Each structure stands twice: as structure tokens, then as C-alpha cells.
């Protein structure tokens, strides 16, 4: 489960993958810490009325069936979004992208717990495949990133990884109509391990 990632604080860096990103896109997002966590307000990209929209949503969806108000679903298994009632409608009609520059997974070495940071070898920003919905109780727009089986790099320490989409698939992921979402199954795959690097974060947990 990915519950910590890093997003660019520099709009110019995000413009390398989202060329039309407006100047005020990062206004209002949580930048208190170097990384973002569940409940953070994060930048997202979605498509509405045929246009890209640059928004800020809360990371973590509070499902209607949850008995505990604090229970947030920050990750959605890509294998389940086509059929599971929790995700099916959102995946069909409310897909989005969550831009990032790194994500973190827990690792244990010699009995000590660390965070492993994963990035692209190119140093480029990237985006997670995600979905969104409005929380039934608070009326907030909230998002959850999709996960898949890990590649060989991430799989050394964790059993899942976020779905990272190549930039050439951004528009396709956002624009597929509800009746054709099954076609997206082919792109919800692990990002190539040879194009990523993993390093121990300096702060143990």
C-alpha cells in the first residue's frame, strides 16, 4: 500500500508532463511537509466537458459503507476497479491523474525499518492512474490511486506498487468512455523496473 509520495512544488517541473498546467494549480495544496500523506490536499488532473481540468483534491476516499469516519481508502486495486461496487462507477466515470516525483514503501533491513524511495531514472515527474469521487458526508472531492502487482524492483520489498502511466497514455486514460473501460486493463501494468531507481530514504520510520 502506498501511503506516502512526493509531488513537485515547482509548477515548471509539472509542466514537463502537463504543458497546460495553470500558474495557480499548486495553490492550496498541502506543502507543510516534504511529502504528502493521506488526507493531504494534492494536485490532480481530470477531463470534463472535453477539457483537462487542473484541480486540488483530498487524498483518500471515505466510502459510504465505512463504519469509522477516519477510514480512508488511499489505494484502489486495479484488478478490482472493473467490478467492485466501491470503485466501479468512479472508475467508469471519474478517472484522474495524480502527479508525483517519487513514492515510498516501507522496508526492513537488519531489523530496522526504513522507507524506500522510488523514482524514475530520468528524474522526470510522472503521474499515477487514479479515480475520484465526492465524499458522501463532507462533500469533498477525494481521490485514490490505483495499484498493481509490483515490478521486480519494487517487488523486492513490497507486494504492490502504484500504477504509473507513461505520458503518452494520459489522454487515453482520462478520455475512454464508460462503456469501453475494459480496454484500460491492458495499461494498468507495472512500470518497467529498468526505468526506475530505488534508494533508502534518510529518515527511518
Helix (H) / strand (E) containing 104: strand 102-109
Is 154 in a helix, a strand, or coil?
Answer: helix
Q: Is 205 within a domain?
A: no
pLDDT-wise least confident of 63-77, 80-94, 111-125, 188-202: 63-77
Tell me the C-alpha distance between 60 and 130, whole Å.
11
Q: Say what the pLDDT of residue 30 is.
A: 73
Cα 44 to Cα 103: distance, rounded to the nearest angstrom: 16
Q: Is residue 111 part of a domain?
A: yes
Residue 80 placed within a domain: yes
% residues pLDDT > 90 (the chain) = 71
DSSP secondary structure letters along 7-27: --S-HHHHTTT-TT--TTTTT
**DSSP assignment letter at 170:** H
In terms of Cβ atoms closer than 10 Å to its own Cβ (0-12, 13-18, 19+), residue 128 is buried
| CATH code of 24's domain | 3.90.1680.10
Asked if the model's pLDDT at residue 133 lies above 50, the reply is: yes
Query: What pLDDT is recorded for position 205?
Result: 43
Cell output for 10: 515547482
Q: Which of 93-102, 119-128, 138-147, 189-198 has the lowest mean pLDDT?
A: 138-147
Which CA distances in Å does 168 have to 34, 88, 126, 173, 205?
Answer: 28, 24, 11, 10, 36
Cell matching residue 8:
513537485
Among 41-50, 104-113, 184-193, the minimum mean pLDDT is found in 104-113
What is the pLDDT, as a whole number, of residue 1?
A: 67
Q: What is the pLDDT of residue 71?
A: 77
Contact 143, 58 (CB under 8 A): yes
Q: Could you report the per-residue pLDDT of 69-94, keeping only the tens digit for each?
A: 667 899 999 999 999 999 999 999 99
Q: Is residue 174 part of a domain?
A: yes
Flag whether 57 is in a domain: yes
Confidence of residue 204 (pLDDT cuts 50, 70, 90): very low
pLDDT at 92: 97
CB crowding 48-76: b at 16 or more within 10 Å, else e: eeeebebbbbbbbbbeeeeeeeeebebbb
For residue 160, is pLDDT > 90? Answer: yes
101-128 average pLDDT score: 91
Which band of pLDDT confidence, cut at 50, 70 and 90, is reported for residue 193?
Answer: very high
- Structurally, the chain folds into a number of domains equal to 1
Give the global pTM: 0.93
Domain hosting 99: range is: 5-200
Q: In what order do the strands lie in the sheet with 112-120?
A: 5-6, 102-109, 112-120, 196-200
Residue 189 lies in a domain: yes
Residue 57 has pLDDT above 60, yes or no: yes
Check residue 69 and give its pLDDT: 64
Sign, CA torsion 72/88/163/50? negative
Mean per-residue pLDDT over the chain, rounded: 90
pLDDT at 123 over 60: yes
Amino acid at each position: 500500500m502506498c501511503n506516502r509520495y512526493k509531488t513537485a512544488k515547482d509548477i515548471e517541473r509539472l509542466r514537463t508532463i502537463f504543458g497546460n498546467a495553470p500558474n495557480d494549480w499548486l495553490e492550496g495544496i498541502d506543502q507543510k511537509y516534504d511529502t504528502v500523506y493521506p488526507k493531504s490536499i494534492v494536485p490532480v488532473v481530470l477531463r470534463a466537458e472535453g477539457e483537462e481540468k487542473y484541480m486540488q483534491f483530498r487524498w483518500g476516499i471515505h466510502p459510504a459503507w465505512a463504519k469509522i469516519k477516519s477510514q480512508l481508502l488511499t489505494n484502489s486495486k486495479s484488478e478490482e476497479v472493473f467490478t467492485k461496487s466501491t470503485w466501479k462507477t468512479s472508475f467508469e466515470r471519474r478517472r484522474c491523474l495524480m502527479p508525483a516525483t517519487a513514492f515510498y514503501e516501507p522496508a526492513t533491513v537488519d531489523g530496522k525499518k526504513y522507507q524506500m524511495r522510488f523514482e524514475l531514472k530520468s528524474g522526470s515527474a510522472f503521474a499515477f492512474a487514479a479515480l475520484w469521487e465526492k465524499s458522501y458526508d463532507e462533500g469533498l472531492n477525494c481521490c485514490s490511486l490505483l495499484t498493481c502487482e509490483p515490478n521486480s524492483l519494487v517487488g523486492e520489498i513490497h507486494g504492490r506498487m502504484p500504477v504509473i502511466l507513461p505520458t503518452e497514455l494520459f489522454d487515453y486514460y482520462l478520455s475512454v468512455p464508460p462503456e469501453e473501460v475494459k480496454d484500460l486493463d491492458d495499461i494498468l501494468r507495472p512500470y518497467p523496473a529498468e526505468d526506475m531507481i530505488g534508494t533508502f530514504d534518510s529518515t527511518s520510520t
